[in-house]
Amino acid sequence: MFLITAGGIIGVCVVCIVLLAIIIYLITRIRIVKQTSKYIVERLGAYHATWSVGIHFLMPFVDRVASVVSMKEQVKDFDPQPVITKDNVTMQIDTVVFYSVLDPKLYTYGVENPIFAIEKLSATTLRNIIGELELDATLTSRDIINAKMRSILDEATDPWGIKVNRVEVKNILPPQDIRDSMERQMRAERERREKILLAEGDKRSKILQAEGDKESQILRAEAEKAAMIKKAEGEAESIKKVKEAEAEGIRLLREAEASGIKLLKEAGASKEVLTMLSYETMEKVADGKATKLIVPSNMQDLVGNISTIASVLEDNKNKKE
């Protein structure tokens, strides 16, 4: 009885262990697919399905995951490749390829090693493109090289389910002697530009100085002209003031003479008195202090009167003696 019971317990334990192993095995057949991945599943060695995000179960003994494909954009930096330009210059060029997988099935079954295939295709394409360009064009045509490589690689990788998004030429390394020559050429070009800039600066400085001298002379001439005009205006104003003063003096003199004659007439002065006053006036005029001489129209009468007066004075003198 004890033996049967022990054997039964052992059998139950074995069954439990087997069931536990089966459960664990079935659990291991469960796959959780992430959003950025695709699973390629084969059944009995043939393509069965492509699993997207979610929980999936592999049939025991018949299904297997052939590959897990990342759907992210990937970057591959390839080693420098020796290429020869059209003018027979050997240089090293390395490229960077940005690509993404569009069809996981074609990516898995299209080519044995997609990355290796892209690298070799990139190298051959680069040699073909550079072989059509000379050294100077190669150094200055990176955009053209990038565009051509991207177009050729994208078309070539379509059967592999790969989309080439971008190709960039990372480095272009000419031989050392070419680099030295280019450096000397660049130094000479910089020196030439420096001399040109200095010459242009000196020329501009002289032009500005000449323009400044010209403007200075123009301003000086205008200032002298304005000063002469002001001086002439001042002299004209001075002459005008002098003439106005002289005219005012003459006017006042005439008014005084008129007033004197009026007073004499009012006082009833005789002709003889007026004649004596005229003589006194002529005496003042003839004393040499007057700057202007006014000769009256009856000069002959005055001369006759003066002669008569002189005779009278001479007779009186003789009588006194």
Looking at the DSSP bridge assignments, the partners of residue 39 are: 51, 68
Question: What pLDDT, on a 0 to 100 scale, did the predictor assign at position 97?
Answer: 92
Considering only CA atoms, which of 80, 120, 122 is closest in space to residue 97? 122
Q: What is residue 163's predicted lDDT score, i.e. its pLDDT?
A: 92
What is the C-alpha to C-alpha distance for residues 244 and 251, in angstroms, rounded to an integer?
10
Which SS3 state, helix, strand or coil, does residue 94 take?
A: strand
Say whether pLDDT at 240 is over 60. yes
Backbone angles phi, psi at 102, to 5 degrees: -95, -35
Range among 18-32, 59-73, 271-285, 290-304 with highest mean pLDDT value: 59-73
Provide the pLDDT for residue 3.
45
Mean pLDDT of 206-220: 87
Predicted confidence (pLDDT) at residue 58 exceeds the cutoff of 70: yes
Task: Say which residue, 188 or 265, is predicted with more confidence.
Answer: 188
Q: How many CB atoms lie within 10 A of CB 100?
A: 14
Q: How confident is the model at residue 140 (pLDDT cuts 50, 70, 90)?
A: confident
| Pairwise CA distance, residues 27 & 70, whole Å | 24
For CA atoms 101, 102, 103, 109, give the dihedral sign.
negative
Contact predicate 156/76, CB 8 Å = no
The per-residue pLDDT of the chain, averaged, comes to 80
Mean pLDDT of 74-81: 87
**Token pair recorded at residue 74:** 């990937």
pLDDT higher than 50, residue 13: yes
Instruction: Tell which wins on pLDDT, 17 or 315.
Output: 17
Higher pLDDT, residue 303 or 278: 278
pLDDT at 302 over 60: no
Q: What is the pLDDT of residues 16-43, one digit of tens each?
A: 888 888 888 888 888 888 888 999 999 8
Asked if 138 contacts 130 with a C-beta cutoff of 8 angstroms, the reply is: yes
Is residue 2's pLDDT more than 50? no
The mean per-residue pLDDT over the stretch 229-235 comes to 85
Q: Give the pLDDT score at 39.
A: 93
What are the structural domains of the chain? 2-70 (no CATH), 74-174 (3.30.479.30), 270-316 (no CATH)
- Give the pLDDT score at 308: 56
Provide mean pLDDT across the span 102-109.
Answer: 90
Task: Please enumerate in sequence order all residues whose Cβ is within 8 A of that of 83, keeping only pairs 6 or more positions apart, or say none.
Answer: 90, 91, 92, 93, 126, 127, 130, 131
The whole-number average pLDDT for the span 188-202 is 87
Average pLDDT in the 74-100 region? Answer: 88
pLDDT for residue 264 is more than 70: no
For residue 289, pLDDT beyond 70:
no
Which is higher by pLDDT, 1 or 166? 166
Looking at residue 71, the DSSP 8-state letter turns out to be: -
Q: What is the pLDDT of residue 271?
A: 58
